[in-house]
Amino acid sequence: MNKKMDFKAFITNYWFIFAGVFVSTFVGFWALTVLPRMKPNIFKRMFHIPARKSVTNAVQLGGLPLSIGIFLGILSLLYVPDPNHIFGVHDLRFVKYWLISGSFIILYGYLDDKFELRPIVKLTTQLVSVFIFAFYTSWSFHNYYSSAAFIICSIWGLGVLNGSNLLDGLDTLTVKIGLVTYAIIGAMGIYYGSGATIIGTGICASALISFYFFNKEPAKIHLGEIGGSFIGFSYLLLCSFLYLKIKTTHHVFHATFVTLSLLSLPMVELGVSFLRRIFNRRSPFSGDRLHIHHILRNFHNFSASGTASVMAFSYTLVCLSTFGLAVFEFPLATFLVTVFLEISIYVAVGAKYWIGHDTINFHPKALFNYLRKKDIMIIDSSKIDDFHITILQEDEEDDMEEDENNDKYAS
């Protein structure tokens, strides 16, 4: 199968799927904007959810028509004739397992947007979704490395779901970053001759483009819990298509590092967020307003749309750099440079805003005191008549310890 045949099939045999996805998602978004003006009815009770903390009276649940549009577009691939045999047996099985897993994401996302589920419930559902997809893909990727593939798919899958959700924080941010990601995955699909990747990218991008008209500043609709997670999950399917195609002509490690580099941004977003919170002595699962898009918005006076454009442009430059490395057959360098550049941008923009009063001190003496065993004595309160508390600075505490040591040696 040559690349020209893939592109021709992309235009002639699948354009109506892209158009159908665009129109169906557009109608779904429009319906969400109409619901607030309707009289109370069952549809309004089920699907009208005002966006929390919205200053533009936007509605939530935009992820529902987006995910359903992508879901139906991918589902149609199982029934549309494939005259050029673009989809292999494993590709179509990927689609089936992805649809099963994706239905769990749509369900828990809707319930969380509607009722706010407990974090443990969301995490459990995410694990089920990712494990179902990882179980099959790990076996299909490579018979000899199936265990390692399952671990990588599970970790990356869970990270991409949550990292993509964290990147859904401002108007058009998900749209612009998502379209850049789809563009680079599609470009990789063209370069390596993966027609399945090209078609899948076209389906996902069609739904995301229709969302732009309702999410541009000031936004009328927000994605909610479903949208960011489902978009991240779509990345997994597209990269699975791409991986299988690359593996037919390159080593398994080449295919692994190239595809993982395409999934690096959500992982970096999640990893940096976790480390930043730990660095400030907070739970890694707690929320904050110190993401890069919040910093650009709140401290550098960018508009929401401007912030999204800056981040998308920066990500585009990173992707172009790593695409060149992939073309010249440096897969490990592709992955390492991608992660290094993304982390460097995050640190350059956000480091000075991440330092607070509770930030962990990495001075050697402070680290030693933090790691040193503390002596604790329990005293029966009935044996104490009176007590007082004196708060000492660290230097005063050291001086007191030194005086006590001197008195002990003198005696």
Q: What is the pLDDT of residues 248-301, one digit of tens each?
A: 999 888 999 999 999 999 999 999 999 999 888 888 888 888 999 999 999 998
- Asked whether 234 and 244 are in contact (CB, 8 A), the reply is no
Q: Which H or E run includes 75?
A: helix 63-76
d(CA 19, CA 202): 10
How many domains is the chain partitioned into structurally?
1
d(CA 248, CA 35): 49
- Residue 313 in 3-state DSSP? helix
Kindly report the average pLDDT of the chain as a whole number: 85
The model's pLDDT over 346-394, given as tens digits with 9 standing for 90+, comes to 999 999 999 876 777 666 665 566 555 555 555 656 556 666 666 655 4
Structural domain contains residue 323 = no
Predicted confidence band of residue 411 (pLDDT cuts 50, 70, 90): very low
- If you average pLDDT over each of 77-81, 313-317, 393-397, which comes out highest? 313-317
Predicted confidence band of residue 204 (pLDDT cuts 50, 70, 90): very high
Structural domain contains residue 39 = yes
Q: In this predicted structure, what is the pLDDT of residue 2?
A: 44
pTM: 0.85
Structural domain contains residue 296 = no
Q: What value, to the nearest 5°, has the Cα angle with vertex 368 and ends 367 and 374?
A: 115
Structural domain contains residue 284 = no
Structural domain contains residue 375 = no
- Asked whether 61 and 224 are in contact (CB, 8 A), the reply is yes
Bridge partners (DSSP) of residue 221 are: 59
Structural domain contains residue 187 = yes
Average pLDDT over residues 209-235: 93
Answer yes or no: is pLDDT of 410 > 50: no
Q: In this predicted structure, what is the pLDDT of residue 282?
A: 85
Answer yes or no: is pLDDT of 233 > 90: yes
For 382, which DSSP code? G
Contacts of residue 107, defined as CB under 8 A and 6 or more positions apart, other chains included, come to: 125
- Asked whether 163 and 265 are in contact (CB, 8 A), the reply is yes
Contacts of residue 323, defined as CB under 8 A and 6 or more positions apart, other chains included, come to: 184, 187, 188
One-letter-per-residue 3-state SS of 221-267? ECCHHHHHHHHHHHHHHHHHHHHHHHHCCCCHHHHHHHHHHHCHHHH
- Asked whether 28 and 65 are in contact (CB, 8 A), the reply is yes
Q: Which of 140 and 352 is assigned the larger pLDDT? A: 352
Answer yes or no: is pLDDT of 406 > 90: no
Q: Which of 169 and 315 is assigned the larger pLDDT? A: 315
Q: Which amino acid is at 79?
A: Y
Structural domain contains residue 362 = no
Q: Which H or E run includes 298?
A: helix 292-299
Q: Residue 3: phi, psi to the nearest 5?
A: -70, -35
Name the percent of the chain lying above pLDDT 70: 83
| Parent domain of 62 | 3-262
Task: Please spell the DSSP secondary structure of 9-70, one letter per residue.
Answer: HHHHTTHHHHHHHHHHHHHHHHHHHHGGGSPS-HHHHHH--BPTT-SS--BS-THHHHHHHH
Average pLDDT over residues 198-214: 95
Average pLDDT over residues 223-240: 93
Q: Which amino acid is at 201?
A: T
Q: Which amino acid is at 355?
A: I
Terminal-to-terminal C-alpha distance of the chain: 90
Answer yes or no: is pLDDT of 30 > 90: yes
Structural domain contains residue 95 = yes
Q: In this predicted structure, what is the pLDDT of residue 360?
A: 73
Residue 310 CB: number of other CB atoms within 10 A? 17
- Asked whether 296 and 311 are in contact (CB, 8 A), the reply is yes
d(CA 185, CA 168): 20
Q: Can you give the C-alpha Rg of the chain in angstroms?
A: 26
Span of 85-94, 195-204, 214-223, 225-234 with lowest mean pLDDT: 85-94
Residue labelled with tokens 């398994």: 252
